Amino acid sequence: MRTLNYKNEYQKLLSPEIVSFLARIHEQKGQQNLYIEAHKDALSELLEIAKIQSTESSNRIEGIITTDDRLKKIVMNKTTPKGRSEREIAGYRDVLNTIHDSYDFIPIRPSMILQLHRDLYKFSNSTIGGSFKNSDNIIAEELPDGTKSVRFQPVPAWETSEAMDLLCNSFQEALTDPELDPLLLIPMFILDFLCIHPFNDGNGRMSRLLTLLLLYRAGYFVGKYISIERLIADSKTTYYEVLQDSSTGWHDGMNDYLPFVRYMLGIVIAAYREFASRVDVLITRGLSKPERVREIIRSTTGKITKTQIMKQCPDISQKTVERALRELMDNSEIIKIGGGRYTSYTWNWEKE
């Protein structure tokens, strides 16, 4: 089993680019805290939207899906899950709610990670929830011809418990050092967690739940209002590429954390940027739903589809979005591009 020395690895990450990322996030964190204090009630809408998007996106990455209507009802706990996928979605919902409500009381210990994993599978008939893997696993990719290629060989099953103890202890020790910014330690922890791959199933979803937990415990709450899981799902190809880059040489302690750390900091920055934009539309300017559709198109560089608009505003019904699009076209404020499933829209700047 390799050793984990976060302080030594931390120093290798302090490039001008990374330091600039940290400064931007620290500034955006302060701005968000002011928004939250001033508009806590109004932000409840963003909170509910993010829960739906986080649950949908994190499960979708792993191929666990259901219909949009069923998903919303499951997240809002207004229906009983049916089938394996919906039971796992319900489990994710409950763990996400636990992290939202009780992050301060969930220490980063193997026993607590096991409890979260247990709850992830509590609606499932599977017995794997709450136990480390009992057989060796691999991280593979499916090639275009249908064959699979091994991308990474995680820690063997017999070493997993010891590896998780080492991971949590090393991380907790690093957190006590005031010179080490948690924003860099968190993605390093997550990468090591994924390289250990401690469970028979659910490692990816657990890594994203742990990312939120660690950010919340460090005082970064943007994931409550903007779905970090959605941002990862929307850049899934890059996500897997940086995982590959940063895990190469991991067993020998020769891996480079930088690609994954840079990517995750970029995700956090994107979440804060989107938060500021959403707050501007929802609160500062008090726009109606059709006006929000209009503003989304106007503020988008290039073209945007109806589906993309609805992803940004899951609280707005499809009928309302379609009606707003018709009115904007009737007023020549937007231009329709293409047709059928390839239809998109762009702002008509010539009219301004």
Rounded Cα–Cα distance for residues 85 and 106 (Å): 26
Last residue of a domain, one of 228, 250, 282: 282
Q: Any idea what the CATH number is for the domain that residue 298 is in?
A: 1.10.10.10
User: Does residue 89 sit in the same domain as residue 177?
Assistant: yes
The identity of residue 79, as a single letter, is T
The token pair that represents 70 in the structure block = 């069923």
Flag whether 1 is in a domain. no
Please answer whether residues 95 and 209 qualify as being in contact, where contact means their C-beta atoms are separated by less than 8 angstroms: yes
User: Does residue 195 sit in the same domain as residue 65?
Assistant: yes
User: Which residues are registered as beta bridge partners of 335?
Assistant: 346
User: Does residue 97 sit in the same domain as residue 74?
Assistant: yes
Residue 44: the pLDDT is 83
How far is residue 69 CA from its own chain's centroid?
Answer: 21
Reduced to 3 states (helix: H, G, I; strand: E, B; else coil), residue 229 is helix
Which uninterrupted H or E stretch holds 148?
strand 148-152
| 75: Cβ contacts below 8 Å, ≥ 6 apart | 51, 52, 55, 89, 93
User: Does residue 248 sit in the same domain as residue 292?
Assistant: no
Please answer whether residues 276 and 31 qualify as being in contact, where contact means their C-beta atoms are separated by less than 8 angstroms: yes
User: Does residue 237 sit in the same domain as residue 327?
Assistant: no
User: Does residue 161 sit in the same domain as residue 309?
Assistant: no
Last residue of a domain, one of 230, 248, 282: 282
Please answer whether residues 98 and 114 qualify as being in contact, where contact means their C-beta atoms are separated by less than 8 angstroms: no
User: Which residues are registered as beta bridge partners of 334?
Assistant: 347
Q: Any idea what the CATH number is for the domain that residue 240 is in?
A: 1.10.3290.10
User: Does residue 298 sit in the same domain as residue 264?
Assistant: no
The identity of residue 165, as a single letter, is D
User: Does residue 112 sit in the same domain as residue 165?
Assistant: yes
pLDDT by residue, tens only, the chain of 352 residues = 789 999 999 999 999 999 999 999 999 999 888 888 777 777 888 898 899 999 999 999 999 999 988 999 999 999 999 999 999 999 999 999 999 999 999 999 999 999 999 999 999 988 999 999 999 999 887 767 777 778 899 999 999 999 999 999 999 999 999 999 999 999 999 999 999 999 999 999 999 999 999 999 999 999 999 999 999 999 999 999 999 999 999 999 999 999 999 999 999 999 999 898 878 777 656 788 899 899 889 888 789 999 888 877 777 889 999 999 999 999 999 999 999 889 999 999 887 7
Last residue of a domain, one of 254, 282, 310: 282
Flag whether 303 is in a domain. yes
The three-point CA angle 319-299-39 to 5° equals 80
User: Does residue 235 sit in the same domain as residue 214?
Assistant: yes
Residue 169 to residues 108, 111, 166, 295, Cα–Cα distance (Å) = 9, 12, 5, 48
Residue 231: the pLDDT is 95
Rounded Cα–Cα distance for residues 131 and 209 (Å): 17
User: Does residue 133 sit in the same domain as residue 213?
Assistant: yes
Flag whether 71 is in a domain. yes
Whole domain around residue 44: which residue ranges?
6-282
User: Does residue 219 sit in the same domain as residue 148?
Assistant: yes
Question: Which parts of the chain fold into alpha helices (H)?
Answer: 6-12, 16-38, 44-61, 68-75, 83-102, 110-120, 160-175, 182-196, 203-217, 222-225, 228-234, 236-247, 258-279, 289-298, 306-312, 318-330
User: Does residue 243 sit in the same domain as residue 302?
Assistant: no
User: Which residues are registered as beta bridge partners of 182?
Assistant: none
Q: How many domains does the chain have?
A: 2
